[in-house]
A and B are shown apart, each in its own frame.
Chain A
Amino acid sequence: QVQLVQSGSELKKPGASVKVSCKASGYTFTSYAMNWVRQAPGQGLEWMGWINTNTGNPTYAQGFTGRFVFSLDTSVSTAYLQISSLKAEDTAVYYCARDEGGDSSGWYDYWGQGTLVTVSS
């Protein structure tokens, strides 16, 4: 069965970096795009962007350029989200979500369980 398993919660200080992983299983990793979605405490969902798992080409939403990097390790069917120069406002749950196709379609059929990143001094 399809599963997306994300890495565990992180507590970081402002200015530090964090790398969240999303390990896929139960399907051909490179056949489906991967999206990243942020949810700040008590807030709604924000689409951060997506990565083409076949080409590795990322697309970032407005507001998620510069400090945010999507990457892949196809040998272990894993997508990564790295955030640098962390700020308090980056405190959120970060989800990976599989797109039903190889391109970005908005149709997210499987989601990871979410990774809470807390930024606090």
Chain B
Amino acid sequence: SYELTQPPSVSVSPGQTARITCSGDALPKQYAYWYQQKPGQAPVLVIYKDSERPSGIPERFSGSSSGTTVTLTISGVQAEDEADYYCQSADSSGTFWVFGGGTKLTVL
């Protein structure tokens, strides 16, 4: 079955830039979506269609795509950004969706 690979953890100091990657063979042809989840809460969409930001999401969140890797970038990280981040995309057929394993962002 299709898999998306994320690093388990990323740590940054406040004000720095955090980059979280997500790799998958079908990413060149399928959009990626990024969700933020804080403890005890439902996930929240922070990036859709690789690089689009929903209304209400701070401008410091951005997304990019290059080949089989998509990247979520958080510029000027704030303490409130500490959370788990999940990428999501579809397999090559576009029928089945999968989440990456998640990345825990720690703000030092």
A interface residues, Cβ below 8 angstroms from B: 35, 37, 44-47, 50, 59, 61-62, 95, 97, 100, 104, 106-109, 111-114
Contacts and interface: CB of A to CB of B under 8 A. Distances in A.
B interface, over-half SS = strand
Given A44-B102, A107-B33, A61 B45 contact: no
CB-CB nearest 5 A-B residue pairs: A111-B42, A44-B102, A45-B99, A47-B97, A107-B48
Interface in B8-60: 31, 33, 35, 37, 42-45, 48-49, 54
A46 B86 CA distance: 10
Given A45-B43, A95-B42, A59 B95 contact: yes
A109 B88 contact: no
A35 B98 CA distance: 12
A64 to B, nearest CB: 11
B101 interface: yes
**Chain B interface bracket (under 10, 10 to 19, 20 to 34, 35 or more):** 20 to 34
A35 B48 CA distance: 16
B35 A62 contact: no
A107 B98 contact: no
A106 B96 contact: no
Contacts of A47: 88, 96-99
B86 A45 contact: yes
Contacts of A61: 96-98
Contacts of A106: 31, 33, 48, 88-90, 97
Contacts of B54: 109
